[in-house]
Amino acid sequence: MVIKIRQLIEWKQQKRPIVVLTAWDYPIAQILDQAGVDLILVGDSLARVALGYKNELPLTLDEMIHHAKAVCRGVKQALVLVDLPFLTYQESPQQAIHSAGRILKETGAQAVKLEGGYPAMVETVSRLVQAGIPVMGHVGLTPQSVYQIGLKQQGKTKEEAERILGEAIALEQAGAFAMLLEHIPADLAAQITQKLSIPTIGIGAGPDCDGQVLVTADILGMGEKSPPFAKAYANLSAIITQAAQDFATEVREKKFPR
């Protein structure tokens, strides 16, 4: 990994947009890295897009580490960061340090991301940072709280917007190196981006963030339920279907092998 965390602040200051995509295995990671993506996130969305769980909640730390190791084997340039799975960090700062420590020691990733900016989570971020573990914050729509808040846009009311802004500021003060903003109004994301000195990475958060991320399955046209803010740049499921059907036809008609 050649891209360093301190580079991100420079990119924000230079207004050079930061490109982030998710990866869940070796070939995807290798392709994204060679394509010049800046940051590769082993997001817990892999629970859905790689493992077929209905949401992020069932993913275990061992499953995440297994996938993060494969991703890191494929990456030479990009900075790799890994989501802490649901209930592998919410219990206590100790639990968070233990889980994040395993990720850094066992996978080769440089940083972790965790959800939430309520006071106990701010304290956890501060403890992780003091232990030498770089942390990206994540506010707005936090999919690990799906049973509480669903998957709808957050921060629409004035009170909610103020709470989210306050969480982002508190996480920055706790030492987070960047802030993921998911599914919030564009003007709120712009306001947070202007207030923070660390970079914001948006998903469904409008054009004024310091960087953008999408789930790679969605840009490839492989996502099962892509969110409204995603964009498909390819239709890989159609390409794979066609290849499998062509192979099946040639085998059945005894045209392959020849």
Can residue 218 be called a binding residue for ligand KIV (CB under 6 A)? no
Can residue 182 be called a binding residue for Na ion (CB under 5 A)? no
CB under 6 A: which stretch of 43-51, 57-65, 84-92, 125-133 binds ligand KIV?
43-51
Strand partners, 179: 137, 200
Strand partners, 202: 181, 212
Q: Which is nearer to ligand KIV, 234 or 248 (CB)?
A: 234
d(CA 171, CA 137): 7
Is-catalytic flag, 182? yes
Contacts to ligand KIV from residues 172-191, by CB under 6 A: 180, 182
Q: Which is nearer to Na ion, 16 or 102 (CB)?
A: 102
Report the residue from 33, 38, 44, 210 that binds ligand KIV according to the rule CB under 6 A.
Answer: 44
49: its two tokens: 């897009």
CB under 6 A: which stretch of 39-47, 61-69, 117-125, 191-199 binds ligand KIV?
39-47
Can residue 43 be called a binding residue for ligand KIV (CB under 6 A)? yes
Question: Annotation-wise, does 25 bind a ligand?
Answer: no
Tell me the per-residue interface mask from 5 to 24 with ligand KIV, x by CB under 6 A, - otherwise: -----------------x--
Tell me the per-residue interface mask from 65 to 84 with Na ion, x by CB under 5 A, - otherwise: ------------------x-
d(CA 211, CA 136): 13
How many degrees, rounded to 5, is the angle at CA 141 between CA 140 and CA 144?
A: 125
158: its two tokens: 């004035």
Around Cβ 116, how many Cβ atoms within 10 Å? 20
d(CA 42, CA 22): 6
What residue 99 binds from Na ion, ligand KIV, none (CB within 5 to 8 A, per partner kind)? none
3-class SS at 80? strand
d(CA 121, CA 208): 26
Which listed residue (160, 182, 224, 253) is catalytic? 182
Q: Catalytic residues, which ones?
A: 182
